[in-house]
């Protein structure tokens, strides 16, 4: 069962109508993973400026606790050349909700199928550059399931006691998605024994 909050059923980010006039919006490159370009914008003082952006598909980040342990994955990130503990996460496929993507990714990466999922929060990330939405999803009622990693996933499931989760999430190297997910879980009372 999933608890899809309003807004949890779209895949591509919908941009609001601009408050400042957009003279032109230019896509400079598409990689299959993300799209990049700029908007030429008229600023409030009448001057113009290019605001560069990269657009990525939405991603689901999963907070899952079983037997008093928060599930993580240990993963090497070539972009920062470091291995870190992260919350399981993945891209929301077309026509999927954040909660559906979270259930799929949890099984693929960690080997657990949730009985229920709940969208804790949906938000924009790194708004100075990115057009990217993230959903933090709570997964409960976990049953063991077969892992099915993607061809580019080389990660190891890990778990830590819930009372150590924030400390582990704050250990360097860390990332925004893991910190956000653990802090939201703590705020929502999920990280209790």
Q: What is the 3-state secondary structure (H, E, C) of 89-115?
A: EEECCCCCCHHHHHHHHHHHHHCEECC
Per-residue model confidence (pLDDT) at position 1: 44
For the chain, domain boundaries: 22-55, 57-187
- C-alpha to C-alpha distance for 160 and 65, rounded to whole angstroms: 9
Q: What is the DSSP letter of 97?
A: -
3-class DSSP state of 32:
coil
Q: What's the count of helices (H) and strands (E) in the chain, helices before strands?
A: 3, 14
- C-alpha to C-alpha distance for 160 and 132, rounded to whole angstroms: 29
3-class DSSP state of 179:
helix
Neighbours of 159 (CB within 10 A): 19
Per-residue model confidence (pLDDT) at position 89: 96
**Residue 70 contacts residue 142 (beta carbons within 8 Å):** no
pLDDT value at 44 more than 50: yes
In the block, residue with structure tokens 């599930």: 71
* CATH architecture assigned to 57-187: Alpha-Beta Complex (3.90)
Q: Which residues contact 146 (CB under 8 A, 6 or more apart)?
A: 107, 111
Least confident range of 117-131, 143-157, 158-172: 143-157
- C-alpha to C-alpha distance for 38 and 175, rounded to whole angstroms: 26
Q: Tell me: the pLDDT tens digits for 5-42? A: 444 444 445 788 889 999 999 999 999 889 999 999 99
**Residue 85 contacts residue 178 (beta carbons within 8 Å):** yes
Per-residue model confidence (pLDDT) at position 153: 82
């Amino acid at each position: 069962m999933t608890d899809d909050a309003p807004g949890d059923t779209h895949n591509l980010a919908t941009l609001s109508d601009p408050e400042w006039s957009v003279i032109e919006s230019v896509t400079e490159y598409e990689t299959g993973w993300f799209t990049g370009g700029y908007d030429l914008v008229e600023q409030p003082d009448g001057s113009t400026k290019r605001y560069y952006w990269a657009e990525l598909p939405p991603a689901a980040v999963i907070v899952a606790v079983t037997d008093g342990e928060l599930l993580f994955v240990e993963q090497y990130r070539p972009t920062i050349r470091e291995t870190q503990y992260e919350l399981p996460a993945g891209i929301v496929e077309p026509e999927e909700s954040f909660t559906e993507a979270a259930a799929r990714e949890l099984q693929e990466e960690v080997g657990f199928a949730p009985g229920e999922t709940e969208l804790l929060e949906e938000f924009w990330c790194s708004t100075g550059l990115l057009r990217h939405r993230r959903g933090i999803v709570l997964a409960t009622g976990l049953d063991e399931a077969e892992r099915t990693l993607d061809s580019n996933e080389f990660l190891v499931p890990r778990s830590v006691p819930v009372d150590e989760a924030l400390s582990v999430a704050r250990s360097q190297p860390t990332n925004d998605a893991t910190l956000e997910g653990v802090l939201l879980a703590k705020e929502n009372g999920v990280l209790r024994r």
